[in-house]
Structure formats: structure tokens, C-alpha cells
Chains A and B, each alone.
Chain A
């Protein structure tokens, strides 16, 4: 059926848990584009057929006209599905910058298409240049803080971290009392957690 394959792409998006990213389905994506080219060829040939019969293309309502209409509609439908696929993924990719930071972990990186990687880099660069202009890190304090300092537990070896005038060693399972703004990127990356008694 026309447009079936394109809708499969979106079914894939709908089936996955909210906020999760699926691997870019380049196979199906390209198949849909090939389908579009096929529709285009068929559409052109039907229009040529009408023109060859010396009929007015504007007013003719014969079998060829409706065949051409169906191919045209299928093209639009496929386009809409492909656009929606890219758009919904792009929305998610944008949110990654705020949740994870400028460097994506390998397992997420693998799920992106080449153009999506570029998009993420450019989006990230745009946010960074804006933040440096403001001289303010917008990605911290996403949850309104109650205290400028928090107690954190380190979940994975991070190494030395320079905080203002002194350095602390962040080894696994160690507890620290540090500035919330310093801890926040590590927490969002899953390297630390807030330690609650």
C-alpha cells in the first residue's frame, strides 16, 4: 500500500518509550525516498499521457487524472512522514544538549544520522556562543536549587576536579560536599548522585 513504509518509520518512533532515541532507520528512510522517485516517474508519465491525448490538464477528470492524483497524494504523504520523522528526532536531539551536555556518549552517538550529528554540534555551538555572550551557564539549575551546596556520592571514577582554588579527587563511592553548580553536570551524566540520608 502507498505510504505504508513511511508510516512504519513513525510507528517506530511512537512505539519507543517517551524521551528515548531509536537508531536512525536509514534503510527504511532510503526505501521511502526511492518510493517517492517511483511515484514521481509514474506521475510524470500519466501527465504526459493526458497531454499526448491533447486534453486540457486543468479540466480533464479521466482515469489518468485520478491515477496522477493518487501518485501526487502519495508523494505528499511520504514527504509528510519523512519530515515528521526528522522533526520529532531533531526535537529530541536538541533536548540532549540540555540534559547531557555538549559531548554525547558513544551509545547515543551511534544512533544518530550524519546530518543529525552536525545538527547537534551546530545547535550546541549556538547555545554555547549565546551563553558566553551572557557569561552565564544556562544548563545548570534546571531544578530550582534550595541550597548552593549539596552532598553527592560519586558513582564512577572521575579523577581530579579543579574547584576554584583547590582540587578534589573524585573516586568511586566517595562522598563530597560541593557546589551544586559543579555537581549538576556530573549528576545529569549519571556519574554522581545526590546523597540523601
Chain B
């Protein structure tokens, strides 16, 4: 039930998926801009949002094509240099969509590919998030929703840590002052 109200889950299901109708459907001409009648013909190629494509697939009304963001070109780019690929442009919900689409398509290599992409990008995200000061739009604009959540979490925890350390150093300073006073007392006594 928790996921029912989840904004990200809803928006992720809005991602367009290209499907092939295995059967006709009448009264829904809006789905197919090329259709002349108010219906979708059998074997029409239509782009549907994921939520509709998924349900129709389960009812064996459509077959699903692998979305363009998991194409072989993207895979080659990820293999070349994962951290530099603009995944947000491919799909802001790259990983979540991949997980949801995996059971619906015959190409099962998406799973390992997603894992490879995530793990190889993760190192870069983590090291950048700890070192970046201020906003870095060039880097963070390439991240998917999931990755930018991670990035933000790591960045804010680093900021809190630094803040805590500064706060802690105030106590340290007091102890240093205490230590400083000790050497001053012998010097004072020596001058006397």
C-alpha cells in the first residue's frame, strides 16, 4: 500500500514504452495517432505509458519492445565509461524501469547490465559526493533519480559530519587551552 501513493513510482510508470498490439481495441483511438477510426488495429505499433503497457501485456493484448534506453548503443557507452553517460537523458528512472520491464521482455541480459551500470557508476558518485563543494550541475544533471537521491544522501551526511566535527572541535579547543595553560604556569613560576 505504501507504494500506491509513492510519487516516484507513479511517475516512473509514466515512462513511454513501445508496444505491438496483438489484438484490436475499439473506442480508444486516442492511443494511436495514425488510426483513422476510433480504434487501435491489430499489429499496430503504439507508444503507451508503462502502466498501461504492463497491464495489457499481462492480458496478452500487446507485446513489449525493449525501450530505447536499454539499446546496444547505451550498453556500449556504459562499457566504455559508465560515469560519463547521461543516464537521466535516457530515462530519469533508468534502473527502476529496467527492473520493472525485465519480466516482460525476452531479453534477460538487461538485469546484469543494470547491475554493471550501477556498480561502475556508484564509485564515481560516492567520491564526487564527498568532495564536491557547492552545486555541480555538470555532473549531477547526468544522474538518474535513484542516483541523485544517493548523491544527495552522501553529500548531506558529509556536510552534517563536517558540522558535527566543527561543533566537536569547540570542545577540543577548550582542552587545548587547558593544556596551554599548563606550560604557561611553569614559565610564570620561572620568571618569578
A: residues with CB less than 8 A from B are 1-4, 7, 10-11, 13-14, 42, 45-46, 61, 63-64, 66-71, 73-74, 77, 80-81, 83-84, 87-88
Complex alpha-carbon distance, A135 and B11, angstroms: 44
The contact size tier of chain B is 20 to 34
Residues from chain B with a CB closer than 8 A to the CB of A13 are 7
Is there contact, CB below 8 Å, between B28 and A87? no
Which of B19-27, B63-71, B117-125 is found at the contact surface with chain A?
B19-27
Among A64, A77, A80, A87, point to the contact of B26 (Cβ < 8 A): A64
Complex alpha-carbon distance, A87 and B56, angstroms: 28
B18 at the interface (CB under 8 A from A): no
Scan B37-56; emit 1 where CB is below 8 A from any A CB, else 0. 00100000000110110011
Could you list 8 further interchain pairs (A-B, Cβ under 8 angstroms) beyond the known A7-B10, A88-B7?
A: A46-B26, A46-B27, A66-B56, A67-B25, A71-B28, A77-B51, A80-B4, A81-B10
Is there contact, CB below 8 Å, between B30 and A2? yes
Known contacts A67-B39, A71-B28; is-contact A14 B51 (Cβ 8 Å): no
Known contacts A3-B51, A66-B61, A69-B56; is-contact A10 B7 (Cβ 8 Å): yes
- Min distance, Cβ A136 to any Cβ of chain B, angstroms: 30
- Min distance, Cβ A35 to any Cβ of chain B, angstroms: 11
- Min distance, Cβ B169 to any Cβ of chain A, angstroms: 16
Is there contact, CB below 8 Å, between A73 and B39? no
Complex alpha-carbon distance, A74 and B27, angstroms: 13
Residues from chain A with a CB closer than 8 A to the CB of B55 are 69, 73
- Min distance, Cβ A88 to any Cβ of chain B, angstroms: 6
Per CB-CB distance, the 9 closest pairs between chain A and chain B, nearest first, are A66-B25, A67-B27, A63-B24, A67-B26, A63-B26, A87-B5, A84-B5, A67-B25, A7-B14
Known contacts A3-B51, A67-B28, A69-B61; is-contact A10 B23 (Cβ 8 Å): no
Complex alpha-carbon distance, A84 and B48, angstroms: 21
Residues from chain B with a CB closer than 8 A to the CB of A61 are 23
Is there contact, CB below 8 Å, between A70 and B5? no
Known contacts A70-B56, A83-B4, A84-B7; is-contact A42 B27 (Cβ 8 Å): yes
- Show 7 A/B contacts (Cβ-Cβ < 8 Å), sorted by A: A1-B30, A1-B49, A64-B27, A66-B59, A67-B25, A83-B5, A84-B7
Complex alpha-carbon distance, A61 and B23, angstroms: 9
